[in-house]
Amino acid sequence: MHVRGAYLTIVGQYLNNPYFMPDSDKTSSKQGIGCKNCRDDEPLGFTFTMAFQPIVDIRTREVYAYEALVRGTGGEGAAWVLDQITDDNRYRFDQDCRSKAVELAARLEIPCLLSINFLPNAVYEAATCIRATLDAARRFNFPADRIIFEVTEAEELTDKSHLQSIFTEYKRRGFKTAIDDFGAGYSGLNLLAEFQPDILKLDMALVRNLHQDPVREAIVKGVLGVCDALNIKVIAEGVELPEELRRLRDLGVYLFQGYLLARPAFEALPPINWPDD
Ligand SMILES: [Ca+2]
C-alpha cells in the first residue's frame, strides 16, 4: 500500500536567489495518493520548463554536470512553478519534471552529467517512481548513468531507511546520487553515516566568505576529510567570490557551482566565466 504522500520535485530557484530551496512539503503526510496519480493522464494544468546551471571541474575546465532547475515557460522563477502544485497534480508534476529535464538535456545535447533534484519523502516506492525516469532516458536516448539525483537534507528525514532504500535502488539502476545542501539541513553527518552518496554538495552557507572565516574553513576541512576517506566527490555550491573559490581549491575542492561561474540559463547552457588562476 502506498501511503507515503510527500512529493518529489525538481527543486528550483528564484531568479534573484538561485539557491532558494522550497520549504519541506507541509502536506507530506497526506494519505491516499499513490501510483494511480502517476498513471492518470490528467493534464497538469500549467506548463513549466527548465533552466540549467553548470557544475564545473576547474582542473580540466570542463563542465562536470548541469543541474536542471524548474522555471515557468514565460521565464517565471521556481517559486511560481511550485505555487501551482496541488495534491492532485504533484505526482504528475514529479514525473513530468524528470521527463522534462531529460528531454531538454537530450535536446541541448548535454555531453556530461545531468543533475535532477528530488525530495526524499516524495518517493513512496523507489522502483516504481524511477520508471518514468528510465522511460524518458530511453525515449530521448540519454544514458541513465549520466543522471545524478540530488536529495536535499533541508527536509527532515523521518525515515532514513526509506531514503537509503531509494538511493540503493537508484544506484542499482545506474544513477548517481548526491546529497544536496550539505551543512544546511537537519541530518548532517548522521545522514552521511547512514549512507554514502557518490557526491556531496557543500551548502552555500558554508561556502560564503569561507576565506575570511576560520570556523567555516575548519568545518569544510573536516567534511572534505570525511569525503576523501569515503571516496565521495565534493561540489562547492553557491560560490560567488573568487576568494571563496581559491580557498576551497587550496583545500582540495575542484568541482564548483555558483554565480561566479555561471547563472542558470533558461532552456540553454550558459557560457562559463572560468577563474583566471
Ligand atoms: Ca540542488
Long-range interactions of 83-86: CB distance < 8 A, separation 24+: 84/45, 84/46, 84/48, 85/7, 85/9
* Whole-angstrom distance, CA of residue 264 vs CA of residue 262: 7
Q: For residue 114, how far is its CA from the centre of ligand 1 (angstroms)?
A: 11
Q: For residue 118, how far is its CA from the centre of ligand 1 (angstroms)?
A: 8
Backbone torsions φ then ψ of 245, nearest 5 degrees = -60, -45
Residues found in the chain: 277
Q: Give residue 62's pLDDT.
A: 97
Q: For residue 201, how far is its CA from the centre of ligand 1 (angstroms)?
A: 8
For residue 203, the 8-state DSSP code is P
Q: For residue 43, how far is its CA from the centre of ligand 1 (angstroms)?
A: 26
Q: For residue 178, how far is its CA from the centre of ligand 1 (angstroms)?
A: 9
CB atoms within 10 A of CB 212: 12
Backbone torsions φ then ψ of 273, nearest 5 degrees = -90, 95
Q: For residue 103, how far is its CA from the centre of ligand 1 (angstroms)?
A: 19
| CATH T-level assignment (fold) for domain 35-266 | TIM Barrel (3.20.20)
Q: Give residue 271's pLDDT.
A: 97
Task: Cite the DSSP H helix spans in the chain.
Answer: 35-39, 78-83, 90-107, 126-129, 131-139, 160-172, 189-194, 204-207, 214-230, 242-250
Q: For residue 177, how far is its CA from the centre of ligand 1 (angstroms)?
A: 12
Q: For residue 14, how far is its CA from the centre of ligand 1 (angstroms)?
A: 13
- Burial of 183 per CB tally in 10 Å (0-12, 13-18, 19+): buried
Q: For residue 117, how far is its CA from the centre of ligand 1 (angstroms)?
A: 5
Structural element, H or E, at residue 69: strand 62-72
- The answer to whether the beta carbons of residues 82 and 25 sit under 8 Å apart is no
Q: For residue 262, how far is its CA from the centre of ligand 1 (angstroms)?
A: 15
Q: For residue 23, how far is its CA from the centre of ligand 1 (angstroms)?
A: 13
Q: For residue 115, how far is its CA from the centre of ligand 1 (angstroms)?
A: 8
pLDDT by position in tens, the chain (length 277): 333 332 232 332 222 222 333 333 323 333 344 555 555 566 788 899 999 999 999 999 999 999 999 999 999 998 999 888 887 787 778 788 889 999 999 999 999 999 998 766 556 566 667 887 888 999 999 998 999 999 876 556 566 777 788 888 888 888 999 999 898 766 678 778 888 999 999 999 999 999 999 999 999 999 999 999 999 999 999 999 999 999 999 999 999 999 999 999 999 999 999 988 7
Q: For residue 107, how far is its CA from the centre of ligand 1 (angstroms)?
A: 21
Q: Give residue 1's pLDDT.
A: 33
Q: For residue 11, how far is its CA from the centre of ligand 1 (angstroms)?
A: 6
Q: For residue 50, how far is its CA from the centre of ligand 1 (angstroms)?
A: 13
Written as nine digits, the cell of 87 is 495534491
Q: For residue 146, how far is its CA from the centre of ligand 1 (angstroms)?
A: 16
pTM value? 0.83
Q: For residue 230, how far is its CA from the centre of ligand 1 (angstroms)?
A: 21
Across-strand partners of 57? Answer: 62, 255
Q: Give residue 85's pLDDT.
A: 83
Q: For residue 24, how far is its CA from the centre of ligand 1 (angstroms)?
A: 14
Q: Which residues surround ligand 1, an ion (CB under 5 A)?
A: 117, 150, 180
Query: How large is the greatest C-alpha to C-alpha distance in the chain, in angstroms?
Result: 55
* Whole-angstrom distance, CA of residue 45 vs CA of residue 84: 8
Q: Which residues of 86-116 are buried (b: 16+ CB within 10 A; e: fewer)?
A: eeebbbbbbbbbbbbbbbbbbebebebbbbb
